[in-house]
Structure 1
Amino acid sequence: MKRLLLILLVFATTKNMGQQMDNKAIETAMVKAMEWQEAHPIFALAPTDWTNGAYYVGVSKAHETTKNPIFLAALKTQGYRNHWKPLYRTYHADDVAISYSYLYANSTRKNLVDLGPTKEFLDTHLYEPNKWKDGTDKNKEKKILWWWCDALFMAPPVITVYTKQTGEEKYLDAMHKYYMETYDLLFDQEEHLFARDTRYQWGVNEKDLKEPNGKKIFWARGNGWVLGGLALVLTDLPKDYEHYDFYLNLYKKIAARIKSLQHEDGLWRTSLLSPESWNHGEVSASGFYTYALAWGVNNGILDKATYVPAVTKAWNALAACQHENGMVGWVQDIGADPQPATADSWQNYGTGAFLLAGSELLKLER
């Protein structure tokens, strides 16, 4: 009996050491990714644009999980440098994404952050008229506030965190109103995926856009924005909120579909239904999926036996896309539809997705 107990103790200790070693490697990879990204700043419009917004969401979650001060230092530095301000296009969801990192920094120390600029943005964005809300934009696809699926990552997580910190629940109802507009417009009830915008929907345009294999075009990163955004929203959305079940059920539906589209190498292709179009993995979409699926397991929403193997395989594949210097490659450039990537293609939002994935893998009981 004593011998059996000793064997069990050794097995448990070895298993725990193995997981600690794996976690150490994951955190090391995350730190290297952030250090490389901080040394190679990049943005599309300004340091407060959506690309940095997505990147610093990853940095926020990296600190939340690891408590490593290097991540918090980066968050504070960029926040002070930006004077805690979003970008200037108050009608555009992209331009408030950076506020997620401000709100996270604010949670680490009371009164650290000036939330005034974020409140001003949200009040204008959600409640004031603009050319998309009133349908006067010259582009026919831009007839609702959040007319592209990426927007569901950019604004809703900010709104749920802002509500959590301030207690101003009116923002949740405004969020739900505009989220439902996007859902009703872009969610494909047959495929359980989001079209990027109305240009990629069938039966809406004079000539339906399609992949060479005849399938509908579903962009991997576009759906990564949605699924990653849902995980972020559900993290802070009160469970007693009247529409909570809508977000939970949508998350489960998309998560199951995304898992079914994972490739044997662990990554997802840029075109979800036409993987042969660009037959290689893509890191930004795969990072968001890995984060969202691992989050579901960690929160008891997704079945562990079903999803842990997929998530573990995905992280191993993501880690293989990181260069020795910390750069995360195989990231598709800025776009709106499936396009190729290479081992040397990178973007800050790809690093953010990598950090998000690592932040949940560290919590995963493997």
Structure 2
Amino acid sequence: MRKILVVLLLTISAGFTTSSAQKLPPQKETLDVVMKVNKYFMEKYADYRTPSFVRNVTRPSNIWTRGVYYEGLMALYSIYPRAEFYDYAYNWAEYHEWGMRNGNTTRNADDYCCGQTYIDLYNICPKPEMLKNIKSNMNMLVNTPQVGDWTWVDAIQMGMPVLAKMGHLTGEQKYFDKMWDMYEFSRNQLAGKGMFNLADGLWWRDADFLPPYKEPNGEDCYWSRGNGWAYAALVRVLDEIPANEKHRQDYINDFLIMSKALKKCQRTDGFWNVSLHDAGNYGGKETTGTALFVYGMAWGVRNELLDKEEYLPVLLKGWNAMVKEAVHPNGFLGYVQGTGKEPKDGQPVTYESVPDFEDYGVGCFLLAGTEVYKLQ
């Protein structure tokens, strides 16, 4: 009888494992939805030179919002290398002369976010002019003593991967060292406290949100997309730095701490709220934070940093929710919070609402989709 019970339990366990594996969507299905969302964007913004005109301000198309889109496009290109994707990115970069908005000597991570794509393009087909400006700018950061530039959590995703990619490309440790010094300041020292709250495993958006600032329910304010930026930055850095880089384990530790915290915050429908610890403060489905969390968790599972049995259901629930409830038949992406820095900004967030900038939402979704694709 005992032997029968053991066999039965093993059979049930195997059934659960098989069932879990079957929940992964077929690669073609994942690719199709990613392609649909990207096609919508590329057709709507066919002229990559067109600047953004929002709130009576004209912004060039190498702004950070577009830089994030191209991060996603290059990820898509890595699994489905169509010439039109490469050309769209290359022509955009060449139009901007491989430079940054507001000049080629800048400490603002939003300005040099575009450098992530410049380096990716260089790695595919290297030409000296592609790296001239971004390498010069990174050398300026390395050769000056300031480390306190990343005073808002978004900057960690905009800036860190550029230094990581430059270090990978050149093999020079100085880029990794500067990246750590800047990250460590933002994490631990900014405003005397740092933006990363180890107790909750989440990031405050900037010094304005450090305690005693509270959400309406009395909790600390942890903005979904802000934490998504930090989470994605860790993934993109870990993808670039060598296995023996002296701070690799520090980045891994933060990634694992965040993963555990984010898992606890997921909504029952698979999305994450704009406010991670106060569902009543502009609560509701939100795509950009959800996409970035799915991106990070899928990468973590694929690279065996996250337990597959524990995190695969979480990330698939998030992915399936976005596919079924955020993606319109024509590829438009719903539930994207507009720009801002906290839950109340960029509202309303609905299935139909068009955010002030569409590009970064698409970029986040493409990053998530390509990692889900790679899981098989």
> Normalized against structure 2, the TM-score is what?
0.84
Matches for 1:218-237 after TM superposition, within 5 Å: 218-237=222-241
- The residue identity in structure 2 corresponding to 1:188 is N
Aligned residue number for residue 6 of structure 2:
none
* Aligned mates of 1:312, 1:227 — CA distance in 2: 17
The one of 340, 343, 346 equivalent to 1:338 is 343
Aligned residue number for residue 191 of structure 2:
none
1:223 positional shift: 0.2
Aligned residue number for residue 4 of structure 1:
none
Is structure 2 residue 32 aligned with structure 1 residue 28?
yes
Aligned residue number for residue 138 of structure 1:
none
* Aligned mates of 2:266, 2:282 — CA distance in 1: 14
Checking the alignment, whether the CA contact within 8 Å between 1:105 and 1:112 is kept in structure 2 is no
* Aligned mates of 1:113, 1:284 — CA distance in 2: 33
Matches for 1:161-176 after TM superposition, within 5 Å: 161-176=165-180
Checking the alignment, whether the CA contact within 8 Å between 2:142 and 2:174 is kept in structure 1 is no
1:69–1:305: structure 2 CA closer, same or farther, 3 Å change rule? farther
Identity across the alignment (%): 30
The one of 199, 202, 208 equivalent to 2:208 is 199
* Aligned mates of 2:129, 2:297 — CA distance in 1: 31
* Aligned mates of 2:307, 2:26 — CA distance in 1: 22
* Aligned mates of 2:270, 2:305 — CA distance in 1: 21
Checking the alignment, whether the CA contact within 8 Å between 2:23 and 2:316 is kept in structure 1 is no
> Normalized against structure 1, the TM-score is what?
0.86
Is structure 2 residue 373 aligned with structure 1 residue 362?
yes
- The residue identity in structure 2 corresponding to 1:22 is P
Checking the alignment, whether the CA contact within 8 Å between 1:105 and 1:113 is kept in structure 2 is no
Aligned residue number for residue 15 of structure 2:
none
- The residue identity in structure 1 corresponding to 2:248 is Y
Is structure 2 residue 59 aligned with structure 1 residue 59?
no
- The residue identity in structure 2 corresponding to 1:201 is L
Unaligned runs of 5+ in 2: 1-18, 46-50, 189-193
1:20–1:190: structure 2 CA closer, same or farther, 3 Å change rule? closer
The one of 143, 147, 151 equivalent to 1:127 is 143
The one of 78, 85, 109 equivalent to 2:125 is 109
The one of 316, 326, 333 equivalent to 1:328 is 333
19-28 or 322-331: bigger deviation: 19-28
Checking the alignment, whether the CA contact within 8 Å between 1:103 and 1:113 is kept in structure 2 is no
Please list every run of at least 4 consecutive aligned residues from structure 1 whose deviation after the TM superposition is greater than 6 angstroms: 18-21
2:323 partner SS:
helix
* Aligned mates of 1:51, 1:113 — CA distance in 2: 23
Checking the alignment, whether the CA contact within 8 Å between 1:66 and 1:359 is kept in structure 2 is no
230-239 or 343-352: bigger deviation: 343-352
* Aligned mates of 2:64, 2:120 — CA distance in 1: 16
Checking the alignment, whether the CA contact within 8 Å between 1:37 and 1:348 is kept in structure 2 is yes
1:113 positional shift: 5.8
1:124–1:318: structure 2 CA closer, same or farther, 3 Å change rule? same
The one of 304, 307, 310 equivalent to 1:303 is 307
2:26 partner SS:
helix
The one of 80, 85, 94 equivalent to 1:71 is 85
Q: Deviations over 1:130-187 (max 9, x none)?
A: xxx49xxxxxxxxx21111111101111111111112222111111111000010111
* Aligned mates of 2:243, 2:73 — CA distance in 1: 26
1:21 positional shift: 7.1
- How many residues are matched? 333
* Aligned mates of 2:242, 2:24 — CA distance in 1: 32
1:362 partner SS:
helix
Matches for 1:135-146 after TM superposition, within 5 Å: 144-146=148-150
* Aligned mates of 2:36, 2:128 — CA distance in 1: 27
Task: State the superposition RMSD in angstroms.
Answer: 2.1
- The residue identity in structure 2 corresponding to 1:104 is D
* Aligned mates of 1:113, 1:283 — CA distance in 2: 36
Aligned residue number for residue 11 of structure 1:
none
1:350 positional shift: 0.6
1:21–1:233: structure 2 CA closer, same or farther, 3 Å change rule? closer
